[in-house]
Amino acid sequence: MKEERKLTWKEHLSSLSSYLDEKGIDLAYVADPVDIAYLTGYSSWTEERVFALLVSRTSQALLLAPAINEGEVKQTAWADRACFYQDGENPWEKAKERMTAWPKGFWAPEARTVTLSHYRTIKEVFPEANLAADISSWLARQRMIKSPAEIEKLQAAGRQADQALELAFALLKAGQGMSESELALELDYQLKRQGIGDLSFPLIVQAGESAARVSGLPSQKGVQAGDMVIFDLGIMKDGYASDVSRTVALGEISPAKREIYNVVRRAQEAAAKAARPGMTAGELDQVARGVIEDAGYGQYFTHRLGHGIGMQVHEQPNLQPGSEQKLEAGMCFSIEPGIYLPGVGGVRIEDCGWLGEDGFHPFTKTSKDLLSLGEK
């Protein structure tokens, strides 16, 4: 399995060349840094500078990068397949020097990330280029179905998220009276200090009435006894993200809050149990939504059931009402129903996992029993 992990990006790259050949497309132009990492194993964000991957139907590939990235790239498998340009140089002129034997008439750029300015510059250097195709949907589809190697990485990221939750609970218990933002800052610091990892998205800590907002940055509101506290967090591990939510009680909570917690838990567990290849994303959403509606809280479940996860926290598929997207083995997604009562608070329980032929397998294992921290 270790060797498979090393070859993941090579398999992705080979699949792209095969697709181009099948469709009669000469060249793919990939511009999204995450998609480039998916196809090369090399991750970089170059801001306004051109950073691109060019792949031909004849299996040629060229990484076009700023000269400031040269030292990094030469430590990777792309050392001999990279082209570098200095600030002030036309990157496409540099690329053209390396592409003399390439087929380059019919291009498929990544239309959602290629700007009009880039398009015009390419046409100036490659006047024969027809940029009429689009590789975006193919890449999204490929990234939606994970390989066993990718699932292993997501499982590892999930284990880190479980550790982060354990730390979050300990900080909440020890830091009663802290504000949401103080808790978030301390947790972020401790995650780095203890080597658990970097957050995959801005940490969400919401307590009491703030938890009815569904999402948003932590506030200066102090966490008080009787509050339900939502932690929504994720960790990046080897280029793959995790995402998990748990809601805990600080001290004794009211019967009404306990009731909505139990409803959300039933909804989450019902959806996790029902998930199977072949059902639609909308059908799975309705499994959880139906539990919440039957309990009388349907209007307070105000978002989709879940989202895909991989190299980014939010990917395809979207598990939302009415979606006809068929679920397939190898898809990885969240199941995260919630109830959000204005003036009272909210509850969300979330696990991401992978879909096998036999059902849904969560990446995170933190207990969903209602945890009560602090004085009662």
Residue 1 has pLDDT above 60, yes or no: no
Q: Quick one: which of 297, 299, 334 has its CA closest to 314?
A: 334
Nearest-angstrom CA–CA distance, 50 and 29: 12
As a dihedral over the C-alpha atoms of residue 176, residue 178, residue 179, residue 182, rounded to 10 degrees, the angle is -130
Q: Which domains does the chain have, with CATH numbers?
A: 2-143 (3.40.350.10), 145-373 (3.90.230.10)
Residue 271 has pLDDT above 90, yes or no: yes
Residue 376 has pLDDT above 60, yes or no: no
Residue 115 has pLDDT above 90, yes or no: no
The pLDDT assigned to 47 comes to 77
104 — pLDDT class (breaks 50, 70, 90): confident
* Strands 244-250 and 236-237, sheet pairing: unpaired
Task: Encode pLDDT of 171-200 as tens digits.
Answer: 999 877 789 999 999 999 999 999 999 999
Nearest-angstrom CA–CA distance, 17 and 127: 23
**Inter-residue contact 32 to 52 (CB < 8 Å):** no
**Inter-residue contact 329 to 277 (CB < 8 Å):** yes
The pLDDT assigned to 165 comes to 98
Residue 367, burial from CB neighbour count under 10 angstroms (0-12, 13-18, 19+): exposed
Residue 280 has pLDDT above 50, yes or no: yes
Whether the ω angle into residue 317 lies within 30 degrees of 0, i.e. cis, is yes
Task: Encode pLDDT of 60-69 as tens digits.
Answer: 999 999 999 9
The average confidence (pLDDT) of the chain is 93
Where do we find the tokens 């996790």?
A: 272
**Helical (H) or strand (E) element with 53:** strand 52-56
For the residues 100-105, what does the mean pLDDT come to? Answer: 87
Task: Encode pLDDT of 40-77 as tens digits.
Answer: 999 988 778 999 999 999 999 999 999 999 999 999 99
Q: What percentage of the chain has pLDDT greater than the value 70?
A: 98
7 — pLDDT class (breaks 50, 70, 90): low
Residue 37 has pLDDT above 90, yes or no: yes
